[in-house]
Chain A
Amino acid sequence: GESVGLHLPTLSVQEGDNSIINCAYSNSASDYFIWYKQESGKGPQFIIDIRSNMDKRQGQRVTVLLNKTVKHLSLQIAATQPGDSAVYFCAELSDSWGKLQFGAGTQVVVTP
Protein backbone atom coordinates (compact mmCIF):
# COMPACT_ATOMS: atom_id res chain seq x y z
CA GLY A 1 0.00 0.00 0.00
CA GLU A 2 0.95 3.65 -0.03
CA SER A 3 3.35 4.69 2.70
CA VAL A 4 5.64 7.41 3.90
CA GLY A 5 9.08 6.41 5.06
CA LEU A 6 12.29 7.94 6.32
CA HIS A 7 15.75 7.10 5.06
CA LEU A 8 17.75 7.55 8.28
CA PRO A 9 16.59 6.31 11.66
CA THR A 10 19.23 8.27 13.62
CA LEU A 11 21.07 11.45 12.77
CA SER A 12 23.90 12.79 14.92
CA VAL A 13 24.68 16.45 14.40
CA GLN A 14 27.20 18.73 16.02
CA GLU A 15 25.79 21.82 17.63
CA GLY A 16 25.88 24.71 15.21
CA ASP A 17 25.90 22.55 12.11
CA ASN A 18 23.01 22.23 9.71
CA SER A 19 20.80 19.13 9.81
CA ILE A 20 19.06 17.49 6.89
CA ILE A 21 16.33 14.95 7.49
CA ASN A 22 15.00 13.04 4.51
CA CYS A 23 11.67 11.44 3.75
CA ALA A 24 10.38 9.40 0.83
CA TYR A 25 6.72 9.18 0.01
CA SER A 26 5.00 6.86 -2.39
CA ASN A 27 1.55 8.38 -2.87
CA SER A 28 1.97 10.65 -5.87
CA ALA A 29 -1.54 11.98 -5.32
CA SER A 30 -0.62 13.51 -1.95
CA ASP A 31 -0.72 17.27 -2.08
CA TYR A 32 0.14 18.31 1.44
CA PHE A 33 3.11 17.41 3.61
CA ILE A 34 4.00 18.26 7.17
CA TRP A 35 6.99 17.91 9.44
CA TYR A 36 6.48 17.26 13.12
CA LYS A 37 8.93 17.23 16.00
CA GLN A 38 8.36 14.98 18.98
CA GLU A 39 10.34 15.40 22.16
CA SER A 40 10.50 12.67 24.74
CA GLY A 41 7.26 12.39 26.68
CA LYS A 42 5.42 14.88 24.53
CA GLY A 43 3.05 14.83 21.61
CA PRO A 44 4.20 15.74 18.09
CA GLN A 45 4.63 19.45 17.49
CA PHE A 46 3.99 21.05 14.11
CA ILE A 47 7.14 22.48 12.52
CA ILE A 48 6.37 23.39 8.95
CA ASP A 49 4.20 22.32 6.05
CA ILE A 50 4.29 22.49 2.28
CA ARG A 51 1.82 22.00 -0.49
CA SER A 52 2.59 20.10 -3.65
CA ASN A 53 2.44 23.26 -5.76
CA MET A 54 5.57 24.49 -3.97
CA ASP A 55 9.18 23.29 -4.08
CA LYS A 56 10.46 25.07 -1.02
CA ARG A 57 9.18 26.76 2.07
CA GLN A 58 11.10 28.47 4.81
CA GLY A 59 10.37 29.03 8.43
CA GLN A 60 12.45 30.12 11.37
CA ARG A 61 15.71 28.14 11.03
CA VAL A 62 13.87 25.45 9.07
CA THR A 63 13.38 24.85 5.38
CA VAL A 64 11.31 22.14 3.75
CA LEU A 65 12.10 21.03 0.23
CA LEU A 66 9.77 19.00 -1.93
CA ASN A 67 10.87 17.10 -5.00
CA LYS A 68 7.79 15.66 -6.64
CA THR A 69 9.75 14.06 -9.45
CA VAL A 70 11.41 11.60 -7.09
CA LYS A 71 8.77 11.86 -4.37
CA HIS A 72 11.20 13.14 -1.79
CA LEU A 73 10.79 15.54 1.09
CA SER A 74 13.49 16.99 3.29
CA LEU A 75 13.71 19.16 6.36
CA GLN A 76 16.73 21.36 6.85
CA ILE A 77 17.50 22.81 10.25
CA ALA A 78 20.02 25.61 10.31
CA ALA A 79 22.49 26.04 13.17
CA THR A 80 21.22 23.01 15.05
CA GLN A 81 20.82 23.54 18.78
CA PRO A 82 20.58 21.10 21.70
CA GLY A 83 16.86 21.85 21.88
CA ASP A 84 16.49 20.40 18.40
CA SER A 85 17.20 16.93 19.73
CA ALA A 86 13.99 14.99 19.10
CA VAL A 87 12.32 12.57 16.75
CA TYR A 88 11.22 14.16 13.51
CA PHE A 89 8.33 12.81 11.47
CA CYS A 90 7.22 13.62 8.01
CA ALA A 91 3.56 13.13 7.26
CA GLU A 92 1.37 13.33 4.23
CA LEU A 93 -2.29 14.06 4.05
CA SER A 94 -3.87 11.11 2.31
CA ASP A 95 -7.33 12.65 2.31
CA SER A 96 -8.97 15.72 3.72
CA TRP A 97 -10.29 14.56 7.03
CA GLY A 98 -7.55 14.39 9.61
CA LYS A 99 -5.89 11.24 8.31
CA LEU A 100 -2.21 11.94 8.31
CA GLN A 101 0.09 9.15 7.21
CA PHE A 102 3.28 9.39 9.21
CA GLY A 103 6.76 8.21 8.38
CA ALA A 104 8.75 6.06 10.78
CA GLY A 105 10.62 9.01 12.29
CA THR A 106 14.24 10.08 12.53
CA GLN A 107 15.96 10.53 15.86
CA VAL A 108 18.13 13.66 15.79
CA VAL A 109 20.85 13.81 18.42
CA VAL A 110 22.70 17.08 18.82
CA THR A 111 26.18 16.76 20.28
CA PRO A 112 28.13 19.65 21.84
Chain B
Amino acid sequence: KAGVTQTPRYLIKTRGQQVTLSCSPISGHRSVSWYQQTPGQGLQFLFEYFSETQRNKGNFPGRFSGRQFSNSRSEMNVSTLELGDSALYLCASSEGAFAGELFFGEGSRLTVL
Protein backbone atom coordinates (compact mmCIF):
# COMPACT_ATOMS: atom_id res chain seq x y z
CA LYS B 1 0.00 0.00 0.00
CA ALA B 2 1.30 3.45 -0.82
CA GLY B 3 1.79 5.78 2.10
CA VAL B 4 0.50 9.28 2.60
CA THR B 5 1.61 11.48 -0.25
CA GLN B 6 2.04 15.21 0.07
CA THR B 7 2.75 17.69 -2.69
CA PRO B 8 4.66 19.81 -3.21
CA ARG B 9 7.52 18.77 -0.94
CA TYR B 10 9.14 22.18 -0.98
CA LEU B 11 7.94 25.60 -1.93
CA ILE B 12 8.92 29.22 -1.48
CA LYS B 13 6.41 32.04 -1.36
CA THR B 14 6.48 35.71 -0.50
CA ARG B 15 4.46 37.54 2.09
CA GLY B 16 0.90 38.22 1.05
CA GLN B 17 0.70 35.32 -1.37
CA GLN B 18 -1.42 32.27 -0.85
CA VAL B 19 -0.53 28.61 -1.01
CA THR B 20 -2.36 25.33 -1.51
CA LEU B 21 -0.95 22.05 -0.27
CA SER B 22 -2.23 18.66 -1.26
CA CYS B 23 -2.46 15.36 0.57
CA SER B 24 -3.41 11.92 -0.68
CA PRO B 25 -4.15 9.56 2.21
CA ILE B 26 -3.47 5.87 2.37
CA SER B 27 -5.98 3.98 0.27
CA GLY B 28 -9.05 3.22 2.35
CA HIS B 29 -8.34 5.87 4.96
CA ARG B 30 -11.15 8.34 5.33
CA SER B 31 -9.74 10.68 7.96
CA VAL B 32 -7.13 13.30 7.11
CA SER B 33 -5.50 15.57 9.66
CA TRP B 34 -3.14 18.47 9.13
CA TYR B 35 -0.39 19.62 11.45
CA GLN B 36 2.06 22.50 11.39
CA GLN B 37 5.57 21.82 12.64
CA THR B 38 7.95 24.62 13.58
CA PRO B 39 11.07 24.62 15.76
CA GLY B 40 9.47 27.04 18.18
CA GLN B 41 5.97 25.64 18.51
CA GLY B 42 6.51 21.99 17.68
CA LEU B 43 3.68 20.02 16.15
CA GLN B 44 0.37 21.81 16.25
CA PHE B 45 -2.98 20.53 15.08
CA LEU B 46 -4.63 22.47 12.28
CA PHE B 47 -7.78 20.52 11.35
CA GLU B 48 -9.21 17.10 10.67
CA TYR B 49 -11.57 15.94 7.95
CA PHE B 50 -13.65 12.82 7.59
CA SER B 51 -15.93 12.12 4.67
CA GLU B 52 -15.56 15.67 3.39
CA THR B 53 -16.59 17.17 6.75
CA GLN B 54 -14.35 19.10 9.08
CA ARG B 55 -14.74 17.42 12.45
CA ASN B 56 -12.16 19.33 14.41
CA LYS B 57 -10.14 22.52 14.15
CA GLY B 58 -7.11 23.82 15.97
CA ASN B 59 -6.33 27.34 17.15
CA PHE B 60 -5.21 28.89 13.91
CA PRO B 61 -6.48 32.07 12.24
CA GLY B 62 -9.04 31.95 9.48
CA ARG B 63 -6.28 32.35 6.89
CA PHE B 64 -5.78 28.61 7.31
CA SER B 65 -8.45 26.54 5.65
CA GLY B 66 -8.86 23.10 4.24
CA ARG B 67 -11.17 20.75 2.49
CA GLN B 68 -11.56 17.11 1.68
CA PHE B 69 -12.80 15.60 -1.53
CA SER B 70 -15.00 12.58 -2.07
CA ASN B 71 -11.94 10.42 -2.77
CA SER B 72 -10.56 11.42 0.67
CA ARG B 73 -7.80 13.53 -0.82
CA SER B 74 -7.38 16.78 1.07
CA GLU B 75 -6.02 20.24 0.46
CA MET B 76 -5.13 23.01 2.83
CA ASN B 77 -4.83 26.63 1.91
CA VAL B 78 -3.07 29.49 3.61
CA SER B 79 -3.96 32.96 2.40
CA THR B 80 -2.11 36.23 2.93
CA LEU B 81 1.06 34.47 3.93
CA GLU B 82 3.14 35.80 6.81
CA LEU B 83 6.77 35.09 7.63
CA GLY B 84 5.64 33.09 10.64
CA ASP B 85 3.81 30.65 8.39
CA SER B 86 7.14 29.17 7.35
CA ALA B 87 6.92 25.61 8.57
CA LEU B 88 6.68 21.96 7.71
CA TYR B 89 3.05 21.10 7.05
CA LEU B 90 2.28 17.50 7.77
CA CYS B 91 -0.71 15.53 6.66
CA ALA B 92 -1.76 12.35 8.41
CA SER B 93 -4.41 9.81 7.60
CA SER B 94 -6.23 7.18 9.58
CA GLU B 95 -9.01 4.76 8.92
CA GLY B 96 -11.35 7.13 10.69
CA ALA B 97 -13.16 4.88 13.10
CA PHE B 98 -10.69 5.87 15.77
CA ALA B 99 -8.23 8.59 15.02
CA GLY B 100 -5.44 7.40 17.28
CA GLU B 101 -2.95 5.78 14.93
CA LEU B 102 -2.11 8.41 12.40
CA PHE B 103 0.10 7.72 9.43
CA PHE B 104 2.05 10.80 8.44
CA GLY B 105 3.35 11.94 5.10
CA GLU B 106 6.79 13.44 4.57
CA GLY B 107 5.39 16.95 4.74
CA SER B 108 5.44 20.09 2.63
CA ARG B 109 8.20 22.50 3.59
CA LEU B 110 6.93 26.07 3.12
CA THR B 111 9.28 29.03 3.25
CA VAL B 112 7.79 32.49 3.27
CA LEU B 113 10.15 35.33 2.31
Residues of A near any B CB (own CB < 8 A): 32, 34, 36, 41-46, 49, 89, 91, 93, 95-105
Give, as a whole number of angstroms, the nearest-CB distance from B34 to chain A: 9
* Sample of 12 A–B contacts (CB below 8 Å): A43-B106, A46-B103, A89-B43, A98-B99, A98-B102, A99-B56, A99-B58, A100-B102, A102-B43, A102-B44, A103-B42, A105-B42
Q: Number of contact residues on B: which range applies?
A: 20 to 34
Inter-chain CB contacts under 8 Å: number: 68
Q: How far is B43's CA from A48's CA once the two chains are assembled, in angstroms?
A: 18
B4 touches A97 (CB 8 A): no
Chain B neighbourhood of A89, CB < 8 A: 42-43
Can you name the residue of chain A whose Cβ is closest to the Cβ of B47?
Answer: A98
Give, as a whole number of angstroms, the nearest-CB distance from A19 to chain B: 21
**Quick one: CB contact mask for B20-52 with A, threshold 8 Å, 1 for yes?**
000000000001110100000011110010100
A97 touches B99 (CB 8 A): yes
Give, as a whole number of angstroms, the nearest-CB distance from B54 to chain A: 9
Residues of B near any A CB (own CB < 8 A): 4, 31-33, 35, 42-45, 48, 50, 55-56, 58, 90, 92, 94, 98-107
Q: How far is B4's CA from A97's CA once the two chains are assembled, in angstroms?
A: 18
Q: How far is B15's CA from A26's CA once the two chains are assembled, in angstroms?
A: 37
Chain A neighbourhood of B32, CB < 8 A: 98
| Top 10 A-B residue pairs of the complex, sorted by shortest distance between their CB atoms | A98-B48, A43-B104, A98-B33, A102-B43, A97-B55, A98-B99, A97-B56, A99-B45, A44-B104, A99-B56
B107 touches A43 (CB 8 A): yes
B105 touches A34 (CB 8 A): no
Q: How far is B58's CA from A34's CA once the two chains are assembled, in angstroms?
A: 19
Q: Which of B31, B45, B106 has a CB less than 8 Å from the CB of A41?
A: B106
Q: How far is B95's CA from A98's CA once the two chains are assembled, in angstroms?
A: 11
Chain B neighbourhood of A91, CB < 8 A: 43
